[in-house]
């Protein structure tokens, strides 16, 4: 009987030591928590990339919001714009430009996820827009997809100078639309 007690106590003691060692290893091995996200598409926070990846860039004045529609969980706003200066590509004097906006918009109350690099075109205000696809000719029945819109805060001459530099300077890193994983702190 004494032998059984010694074996039982020894087994419990060994299990306790193993559990304590595992707990110490787990606590010591922890690293700050991170979350991995896929980032796809070009970095629209860099004007050289915007210029390189866009078919056309211009300073425009928004004339009027002409159409809002929701389709398949997405929302779109079409705005008639007047071209003040074409910086890359050809632009008609007046054209329709469509952009993605948040669902549930109402006239004068549209929003986007990134208002710094994708501002909602509001009538009476000037913007630099970059067109990814569609026609910038202004021909009736055609339209362009603006994937970048930023208030033209430098004035016409300032925007011209800034964007001519961005257009003339190829991006240092690839301006492709590949996806890459980035780690960010969780929480």
For the chain, the domains span 1-34, 47-168
Residue 173: Cβ within 10 Å count: 10
The model's pLDDT over 127-181, given as tens digits with 9 standing for 90+, comes to: 999 999 999 999 988 999 999 999 999 999 999 999 999 999 988 765 444 555 4
- pLDDT category, 117, cuts 50, 70, 90? confident
Look up the pTM and report it: 0.69
**What is the pLDDT, as a whole number, of residue 40?**
60
Contacts of residue 172, defined as CB under 8 A and 6 or more positions apart, other chains included, come to 48
In whole angstroms, how far apart are CA 157 and each of 44, 50, 52, 138? 22, 19, 21, 24
Question: 41: helix, coil or strand?
Answer: coil
Which architecture characterizes domain 47-168 according to CATH? Beta Barrel (2.40)
């Amino acid at each position: 009987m004494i032998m059984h007690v010694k074996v039982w106590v020894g087994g419990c003691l060994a299990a306790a030591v193993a559990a304590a060692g595992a707990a110490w290893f787990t606590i010591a091995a922890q690293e700050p928590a991170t979350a991995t996200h896929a980032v796809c598409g070009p970095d629209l926070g860099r004007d050289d990339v915007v210029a390189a990846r866009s078919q056309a860039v211009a300073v425009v004045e928004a004339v009027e919001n002409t159409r809002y529609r929701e389709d398949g969980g997405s929302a779109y706003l079409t705005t008639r714009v007047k071209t003040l200066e074409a910086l890359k590509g050809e632009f008609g004097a007046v054209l329709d430009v469509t952009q993605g906006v948040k669902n549930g918009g109402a006239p004068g109350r549209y929003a986007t996820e990134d208002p710094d690099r994708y501002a909602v075109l509001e009538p009476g205000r000037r913007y630099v827009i970059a067109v990814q696809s569609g026609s910038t000719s202004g021909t009736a029945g055609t339209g362009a997809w603006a994937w970048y819109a930023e208030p033209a805060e430098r004035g016409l001459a300032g925007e011209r100078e800034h964007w001519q530099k961005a257009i003339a300077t190829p991006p240092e890193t690839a301006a492709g639309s590949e996806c890459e994983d980035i780690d960010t702190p969780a929480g």
